[in-house]
Amino acid sequence: MSSNPFLPKSLVGRQREVDQISQILAADGDLLIAGVAGSGRRTLVKWAAKQAGAKVITVDCLRAADGDRFLKLLAASLLSTFDRTEELIKIKELLLDQPISFEIAHAIGESIDKQVKPQITWKLNNAGVWHLFENLLSLPQQMAEWLDCRVAIMLHNFTHIRSWDRKGEWEEYLRREIKIQSRVSYVLIATVPEPWMHKLSLHMVELSPLSDQDLREWVESVGEDHSLRFAPIALDLFMEYVQGNLGDAIALERRIWLDYRTQKTISAADFLIQPDHVHQNMLALIEDLSPTFESLVMLLPPTQVRVLESLAIDPTVSPHSREYIQKHRLSKGGSLQGALDSLEQKGLVYGAKYGYRIALPTLQFWLKRHLG
């Protein structure tokens, strides 16, 4: 059971995007989902895959420090996706000639204990790891043919493999597989599209902030499920604080709910959330996030910090204007644009399309408080 009861159990907005992605997956298309943290990129793929009748394998490349670790993540996700007894037996058969140990809780023919996770282990040299990579990457296509279904391989933080794949061999092989496998769709999860991604002929799906209407309906609905009722002015303030970011909306509403639960003398029927409840819980939320934000700012170059702080205290759609540059003492020309582009790549600032505003509302709120 999830420890956060506010994680959506149904789709929040995005129906158009779900339909689009579902159609792409059904037609053997490969795609890129671009959006900032909290925009629901991976959840969106899972909903679309369910609609298209596809199984999803997920690998977060940021967790892979080398090729061997990448394979362990891939193997774990394969066994999590194809977890029925007959599917695990089939995978074991397909890997029979590999120098690996395939552990299943019970013998073939018996039901598998779900409490004991199957696992694949190995001790291989570089050549052996590469050969296993080729075989594991062929499994989704083989399983899709055997089950007569589709498979989506979702790769998050894909470009991180370049930190250890210095010659680009793993990346090149993955790209070739994207084009070859007929029942497998590759889904790259990124913050913004990068130039090399356009060369892959990927379908691009860029996620904008959720509309106020979609997010407002969800906030009210999930609030009622947990005995939370918002005064209209309080809901307006809530929407102003989260700015269409579902992740921040989930965090703030959960914080308000936890605060409500501590007020045992107030009955659910009498409790109406007011603006001061929203504000005080927003303050408590950013206090929790403060260590994360402090570390983040310390890791950014000074030019990017300056731009981020300027946008936090003085939002603008024209950071390149002479007046704005002079007012906030920003660098001119390419240096400013480079800072904006880098902040966009990191998912901290939206680009020109969305008015150069800070992409994480809680970060903007913290910066404004931090700067006084």
Average pLDDT on 75-98 reads: 92
- State percent of the chain over pLDDT 90: 52
Residue whose C-alpha is closest to residue 90's, from 77, 100, 78, 99 = 78
Domain extent listing, the chain? 15-206, 212-370
Exposed/middle/buried for 141, CB within 10 Å: 0-12, 13-18, 19+? middle
| pLDDT given at position 107 | 43
Whether pLDDT at 44 is above 80: yes
pLDDT tens digits, 181-212 = 889 999 988 887 776 676 677 888 888 888 99
| pLDDT given at position 5 | 82
Domain 15-206 sits in CATH 3.40.190.10: no
| pLDDT given at position 72 | 94
| pLDDT given at position 267 | 57
How far out from the chain centre does Cα 233 lie?
31
Average pLDDT on 77-99 reads: 92
Question: For residues 156 and 189, is the Cβ–Cβ distance under 8 A?
Answer: yes
In the predicted model, what is the mean pLDDT of the chain? Answer: 87
C-alpha dihedral over 206, 208, 346, 352, to 10 degrees? 100
C-alpha dihedral over 346, 349, 353, 355, to 10 degrees? -170
Average pLDDT on 205-221 reads: 90
| pLDDT given at position 265 | 52
| pLDDT given at position 12 | 86
Question: For residues 43 and 187, is the Cβ–Cβ distance under 8 A?
Answer: no
pLDDT tens digits, 243-265 = 999 989 999 999 999 888 787 55
Q: What backbone phi and psi angles, to 5 degrees, belong to 40?
A: 85, 35
Q: What backbone phi and psi angles, to 5 degrees, belong to 149?
A: -140, -175
Question: For residues 244 and 362, is the Cβ–Cβ distance under 8 A?
Answer: no
Which residues are 154's β-sheet partners? Answer: 58, 187
pLDDT tens digits, 279-321 = 999 999 999 999 999 999 999 999 999 999 999 999 999 999 9
Average pLDDT on 222-230 reads: 88
| pLDDT given at position 110 | 47
Most confident of 30-39, 115-124, 280-289: 280-289
| pLDDT given at position 108 | 44
The pTM score is: 0.79
- State percent of the chain over pLDDT 70: 92
Whether pLDDT at 60 is above 90: yes
Exposed/middle/buried for 33, CB within 10 Å: 0-12, 13-18, 19+? buried
